[in-house]
Amino acid sequence: QVQLVESGGSVVQPGWSLRLSCTASGFTFSSYVMHWLRQAPGKGLEWVAVMSPDGSHKYYTESVEGRFTISRDNSRNTLYLQMNSLRVEDTATYYCAREGIGPLHDYWGQGTVVTVS
Amino acid sequence: VVLTQTPLSSPVTLGQAASISCRSSQSLVHRDGNTYLSWLHQRPGQPPRLLIYKVSNRFSGVPDRFSGSGAGTYFTLRISRVEAEDVGVYYCTQASQFPWTFGQGTKVEIK
């Protein structure tokens, strides 16, 4: 079955960096577009970044452009999110998700918590 | 694209029906002819999970008491007979126009 497991969340200070990982199993990772999304405490969902299956295309939401970098290692079935210059407003649970039905997210990971304080 | 859900809170009686609306600021008909509007359910402390995709298609394992309808800019999720496991927050989301966006969420709770 499809599984997505995020890791790397932590408590950091403003301006610090952090790298999140999302390890996939149960499907051919290298064939799928993958996303990062986030949810601030008690708030709704926000799309963060997307990467094409071969890594050649990537896009970001405006608030993280220039600070966050999405990448993937298809040999390790892993998606990454490098987060630099973190801000208090980046505090959230970060989810990775697979794009599996057209451009819709069909499977989500359990999430990893990032606290910037 | 801004998605506006109503109501934001929905207290329901077990076994009764519930309905959530999602209105889009723009048409969600994609250039390929599909409408990429889906509904997610998030239980407390859990990640979101896909319920309905492309307006009216139930995702794998989703009970048939859940149904979706709509077109263009107005969409509805209906739960025919609410069960205790249906509590949580429901989100509509669109992928027809970049960037992906979500409604504010509707909290369903048992009266």
- Residue B66 vs residues A8, A13, B49, B83, B84: alpha-carbon distances, Å: 35, 43, 13, 11, 14
Model confidence pLDDT, tens digit, residues A70-102: 999 999 999 999 999 999 999 999 999 999 988
- Among A116, A38, A22, CA closest to A74: A22
Residues of A in Cβ contact (< 8 Å) with B101: 47
Backbone torsions φ then ψ of A18, nearest 5 degrees: -155, 145
Q: Which residue's entry shows tokens 């608030």?
A: A63
pLDDT at residue A103 in the model: 87
> Is cis: bond before B44, omega within 30 of 0?
no
Contact B20, B10 (CB under 8 A): yes
Taking CA atoms, A49 is separated from A35, A59, A100, B52, B73, in Å, by 6, 6, 16, 23, 25
Cα–Cα dist B98/A82, whole Å: 22
Q: Could you tell me which residues come within 8 angstroms of residue A113 by beta carbon, excluding any fewer than 6 positions away?
A: A9, A92, A93, A94
Which chain A residue is nearest to residue B89, measuring alpha carbons?
A44
Residue of B nearest to A5 (CA): B47
Identity of the amino acid at A53: P
Residues in chain A: 117
Query: Which residue in B50, B53, B100 has the most chain A C-beta atoms within 10 A of its own C-beta, making it the best mutation to test that interface?
Result: B100
Residue A114 has pLDDT above 90, yes or no: yes
CA torsion sign, B99 to B59 to B67 to A43? Answer: negative
| Both tokens assigned to A11 | 């408590």
Subunit contact B36:A111, Cβ cutoff 8 A = no
Q: In A36-67, which positions are buried (b, 16+ CB within 10 angstroms) versus exposed (e)?
A: bbbbeeeebbbbbbbbebeeeeebbbeebeee
Q: How far apart are CA B28 and CA B67, in angstroms?
A: 18
Place of tokens 């079955």: A1
Of B49, B76, B44, nearest to A104 by C-alpha is: B49
**Which chain B residues are Cβ-neighbours of A99 within 8 angstroms?**
95
Which of A68, A104, A110 to mutate against chain B (most B CBs within 10 Å)? A104
At A79 the pLDDT is 98
**Is B95 within 8 Å of A103 when comparing Cβ atoms?**
yes
pLDDT at A109 over 90: yes
What is the tens place of the pLDDT at every residue in A19-70? 999 999 999 999 999 999 999 999 999 999 999 999 999 999 999 999 999 9
The nearest alpha carbon in chain A to B100 belongs to A47
Q: Does A45 sit within 8 Å of B50, measured CB to CB?
A: no
Return the residue in A45, A96, A99 with the most chain B beta carbons within 10 A, the one to mutate for interface testing: A45
Q: What mean pLDDT, rounded, does chain A reach?
A: 97
Of A35, A50, A104, which has the smallest distance from its Cβ to B53's Cβ? A104
| pLDDT (tens digit per residue) in A7-19 | 999 999 999 999 9
pLDDT in tens, chain B (111 residues): 999 999 999 999 999 999 999 999 999 999 999 999 999 999 999 999 999 999 999 999 999 999 999 999 999 999 999 999 999 999 999 999 999 999 999 999 999
Q: Do B102 and A61 touch (CB under 8 A)?
A: no
pLDDT at A101: 86
